[in-house]
Structure 1
Amino acid sequence: MKNNIVKQIGSGYADLRRSEKQAADYILKHLTEASELSLDRLARSADVSQPTVMRMLKALGFAGYKDFRYRLVAELAKEREDSASHGNGTRQIMYGYTLNEKDALEEIPLSVTMTTERMLEETMKNFSGRIYRRAVEALTGARLIDIYGVENSEVTAMDLLTKLLYLGLPCRHFSDGYLQQIAAGRLTPDDVAVGISYSGESKDTVDAMKAAKKAGACTIVITNFRESTISRYADILICTSQEQIFYGNSIFSRSTQILIVDMIYMGIISSDYDHYVKELNKCEKVVFGKAYGQGVKHGKPDGRK
């Protein structure tokens, strides 16, 4: 698991300027060395100016360089202590591993978990707070929300559809690519189209987003690759890890996509908490009869003691 310093840098990384990202990248790759460097030496090592380092730290929520170094030293000391208490048996899993026929079956769960964890962290580095706010505001203000996705990404499209319906937002999703494109062409500037494609090259989804863009709708794209075809039609572009993983990426693509959906869902609730809690309560009453033990509430059937 990553220490708190790495998590803090990752959470604000996407909003940094290019030179500030260069300083952050140096720190992430040289944590131990950074803990021992003065401000001027770290700036020289990262090939940036001292003011750039200070702006970067301020943007990430550190009080200053002294605060950063103190907390980094403390985190590294804690890691060494934890490592000593658990012995030397911890295995480091490389990001982007490929399955080998010689891999032991027992090793796979840890490998998959570690790879997914790294992809989620990379997604946070690519997902800025500014883009997040724009996506939430666009969805909450839409007259109609169309959601497009095929094959593996349709799982994510259906998850997003379900969550938005829970919140009472007007949305729809068609499994058929032809219907997606027809629906996209009927959108208006008051509507939002969400296109989900890991590769960014799924023809049906790209064509639907192209039609939605032409119709004047606000377009939100969730993809892994910033330079993919679908990105050309995005008003709001949400990129995940930027790495190509596994055969056809079918294993890990959904992990980062579902993370984005969950963040959007929680962001919408937070944007007007009282209103959306009421919508969720309405939904709970509708689906209450679909569950076994429908008389059970708070652990007591039908209110009986």
Structure 2
Amino acid sequence: MREDSCILRIKKQYFELRPSEVKVADFVLRNIRETSKISIGRLSQITGVSQPSIVRFVKAIGYTSYREFKDDIIENIASNQAESNISLLQELNLKEKDKIEDVPRKTIKTTIKILEETLTSIDTKDFEKAITMIVNARKINIYGVENSVGVISDLTNKLLYLGLDVRRFEDTYMQNLSANNMREEDLAIAISYSGTSKDTVDILKKAKGTGAKTLVITNFEESIISNYADVVLHSSNSKGHIYGNAIFSRTSQIVIVDMIYRGIILSDYDKFSHILDRNGEISSYKSY
């Protein structure tokens, strides 16, 4: 990680800190990623420093709150992940000497690798929690931008077929408006491959601020958007972008959507199979 923001602030103020604050500083400098995931209470237990002293520490290095301090760490981690990416052509496993006839084989090979990694990355307990959240939600709003839009459309259609109250918004103004009007019994689902798309992160943060439950589908376990999620379904254990996100991001996202669809049906097979049969009759009239 480059020396910027949080780490640089600590080093600049290090010799001005109180002894208790130095303990916190030492831990953070050695365990920056772990710090991004833990609460102030947990940090207090680990370092043996009181929570008020931790608050004094973050203010001493220039933050207004522990929340702002953690957000800056998460943003720095995400920024450094992006900087460490290998080139897109390398990610796509393409070379100038490759033949067009090799494209199908290479594409399928990469897709299989992504799907295998997704299978090993999905936490079954988190998956079960996600299904419960969706089934029990009064209203579901789904958010995302750019390459995630097609996946969002697919998830919306599937949930509608299952009789759930779901909607999606592509206009940023309507996204903000819908998120602002959510309630505690509602669910916001955000889909972001990188987990760093500013519009999607900000919308989920707004939805969580209303008390609504939040679910994130993303590729990387350590991402900014995960900070505002009650449950995260991530498709990779890696710390950085392994594949060309513009091309292959849909692969892992679509398969997670299909998992969710099947999981909902199995959560109450009689109920949802009946709904599917009833709604299937509507679409049958549109076929020759």
Q: TM-score range by the shorter chain?
A: 0.5 to 0.7
1:251 corresponding residue in structure 2:
247
* Preserved contact between residue 96 and residue 115 of structure 1 (Cα < 8 Å): no
Instruction: Indicate the residue corresponding to 1:47 in structure 2.
Output: none
Once residues 199 and 178 of structure 1 are traced to their aligned partners in structure 2, the CA distance between those partners, rounded to angstroms, is 22
The C-alpha deviation readout for 1:193-244, integer Å capped at 9, x for no partner, is 0000001111111111001110111100011112211111110011112352
Equivalent residues in 2 for 1:216-231 (5 A)? 216-231=211-226
Q: Which runs of 5+ in 2 are unaligned?
A: 1-89
Residues 86-106 of structure 1 deviation map (CA, whole Å, 9 limit, x = unaligned): xxxxxxxxx955211211111
Give the corresponding residue for 1:283: 279
Q: What CA distance in whole angstroms lies between the structure 2 residues aligned with 1:246 and 1:138?
A: 30
1:74-153 correspondence to structure 2 within 5 Å? 96-153=91-148
Amino acid at match of 1:220: L
Listed as ranges, the matches of 1:193-232 within 5 Å are 193-232=188-227
Q: 1:219 to 1:102 in 2, by over 3 A?
A: same
Q: Distance in 2 between matches of 1:281 and 1:188?
A: 31
Instruction: Write out per-residue CA displacement over residues 65-92 of structure 1, whole angstroms, 9 at most, x where no aligned residue.
Output: xxxxxxxxxxxxxxxxxxxxxxxxxxxx
Distance 1:186 1:269 in 2: 28
Report the Cα distance in structure 2 between the residues aligned to 1:126 and 1:134, rounded to whole angstroms. 15
Q: Per the alignment, do residues 282 and 290 of structure 1 end up closer, same or farther by CA in structure 2, a change over 3 Å counting?
A: same
TM-score, with normalisation over the residues of structure 1?
0.62
How far is 1:262 from its partner? 0.2
Task: Give a deviation string over 1:251-293, Cα, whole Å, max 9, x none.
Answer: 110010000000000000001001101111111111121112x
Equivalence map 1:152-191=2 (5 Å)? 152-191=147-186
> Distance between the aligned counterparts of 1:262 and 1:202, measured in 2?
23
Could you say which structure has the larger radius of gyration? Answer: 1
- SS state at 2:247 partner: coil
For structure 1, which runs of at least 5 residues remain unmatched after alignment? 1-94, 293-305
Hey, what's the Cα distance between the residues in 2 that align with 1:218 and 1:230?
14
Rounded to whole Å, the distance in 2 between the matches of 1:258 and 1:266 is: 13
Inter-partner Cα distance in structure 1 for 2:112 and 2:243 = 15
The aligned length equals 197
In 2, the alpha carbon distance for the partners of 1:239 and 1:178 equals: 28
Identity %: 48
Counterpart amino acid of residue 105 in structure 2: L
- Aligned Cα root-mean-square deviation (Å): 1.4
Letter in 1 for 2:200: T
Output the CA distance in 2 between the equivalents of 1:159 and 1:245.
25
User: 2: CA distance between counterparts of 1:134 and 1:100?
Assistant: 42
Distance 2:247 2:92 in 1: 12
Query: 1:97–1:158: structure 2 CA closer, same or farther, 3 Å change rule?
Result: closer
**Does the CA contact (< 8 Å) of 1:149 and 1:196 recur in 2?**
yes
| Aligned twin of 1:263 | 259
User: Within 5 Å, which residues of 2 pair with 1:28-47?
Assistant: none
Q: Indicate the residue corresponding to 1:237 in structure 2.
A: 232
Taking the aligned partners of 2:220 and 2:177, their CA distance within structure 1 comes to 26
The CA deviation string for residues 32-60 of structure 1, in whole angstroms up to 9 with x for no partner, is xxxxxxxxxxxxxxxxxxxxxxxxxxxxx
Residues 131-182 of structure 1, C-alpha deviation per residue, up to 9 Å, x if partnerless? 1100000000000000001111011111000000000001100111221121
Contact 1:143 1:170 in 2 (8 A): yes
CA separation in 2, counterparts of 1:144 and 1:239? Answer: 23
Q: Secondary structure at the match of 2:285?
A: helix
